[in-house]
Structure 1
Amino acid sequence: MLSNRAAKSQSARISEPRVTSMTRESDGTYTIGISYELNRKTYDDSIAIARSGSQYLLFNKWTIIRPLLKQLTFNAPTAHDNFVVNDVHVSTHHAEITSYVDDSRTMAFTAYPGTYTVKADTGKYFNTNELTIHLNADGAPFDRYIEIKPNGELKTAIAQTLHNELNECATMKTLRKDGCPFGYTPIFLSGEEPAITNISWAMESYPTIDDLQLNGTYSTRYDGRVKRVFEAPDDFNKDIRRIWTDYETFSVDGTYTIDGDKIRLHMDSYGSYY
């Protein structure tokens, strides 16, 4: 945050800086009282300087040992790490995490006094608000909350990816498959494990995306429907083989990841709910 880019806007900078006092401390350093204007208000503050040798043999050389720095603080969901501050991309790795509350955390970035606009670096699949923070104005971090919500584009992209994954599951020639949310465990009256052949599946309708979370989880309604067909012995006469046809209603729970514009899904397997 201590860069020219972060304070490049003229309106973001302090103005009318003035030295108001100078006090020599017992250790030989000096505290310099200053005032400046920000957002049409006047603030008083101070910096500290110390001698660090001489230049041109005649003049003291001074170093600022306590610069005019502040903490830019705001609150954001713990599931998101990347933000944009005055067009500068920053992450939680650059911040001090000062507190956690439920699914959010307070971050503090070291910055010069000024005016900063802050928003989440979200890409195309999330919406976010934009905060304007006057660094020196009153305001608790909890009043400065970055909201991040999945948008309609993400829901559409996950739904399409889910349809493709379910179509792939429907090509299986077995009664169940890892990574597929539907399957079948037959129970026959004879108690014997029958020889099941000619297994096929066909999607009838796709489950509706019901919930998307910022932490990468999703779930659907219980309205997916798939048709299954297989050949197996009759319950009462194992010498007779017949075609068994039925329908299964199912939902999907799982996780998603985003790589650029591409969505990758993981679906909980059939039977993982029990």
Structure 2
Amino acid sequence: MSRFTEVTYNDKEETASIGSGLKWEQVYAELEEFNVTVVGGRVTDVGVSGFTLGGYFPKTNQFGLILDTVVAYELVKPDGQLVNVSGTENADLFFRLKGGYNNIGIVTKLTLKVFPQKHLVWGGTITVDDTQAAQFITETAKFSTEVTDPKAGAIFSHFLIKGSLVFAPELFYDGPIPPPGIFDGVLSIPDQVSSDIFYSVSIENANTPTFEAIVNETIFWSKELAQKGVFLVNYAAELFLPTIFEHATSPRAYPPIRKPPILPFNILLPVNR
């Protein structure tokens, strides 16, 4: 797929046609001169195609999942036929490609909606020690239940390093400066520092009992797994608004259930081998 690397921006249609052999960092670089972007991977070294089967991004609260922004595919079917796939052409394949995984054919090109990106974004990570655990849990739950600005995003990570519990919220705002009140509670927590096994599952509720359970899991499994070479246990809850599945403008295979909305929950276990 390495030869499918074209990026074509269409300012009239407000779309970009993207070769499936690209990585997201290449796509962003090509679109930067036009002051637009796409809803793509947060980790820029990830490939375009697989991530577009679902996928989320800090801009997902505003524009939906990555597959919600796909307007067309170029597809090689199992019989070798090259077809265009959209909501009006081969609509059955359009539905299946949005979450139907890899048994339909080979996607050689995707056409995605683009969105203006003329401004800087605000973000960063702070590190908080276990003396601030209660406040961290409170502010995490408060952010989940009270912040409704779709431009705001956060990943709340939990670590245990050498027996010490550490929290590392990663904060994002799609603008040069977040409005007052968005991150005030999290930023009020005294911080220490500013600045491989990976699983991703889904949770339905982001509330105080959930985050208390995450803290308990972090403590328990870090002790259990330390003797097996796991030197860090990281649970990261990524919070989105409950409206993230409402951006779709056509039927799609993913997610099969729209309500209740699910939240990505990442588990990272670095291992010394």
TM-score bracket, shorter-length normalisation: under 0.3
Relative CO higher for 1 or 2, CA cutoff 8 Å, sep ≥ 6? Answer: 2
- Between Structure 1 and Structure 2, whose CA radius of gyration is higher? 1
> Which TM-score applies when normalising by structure 2?
0.22
> Which TM-score applies when normalising by structure 1?
0.22
Q: As a proportion of its length, which structure holds more helix?
A: 2
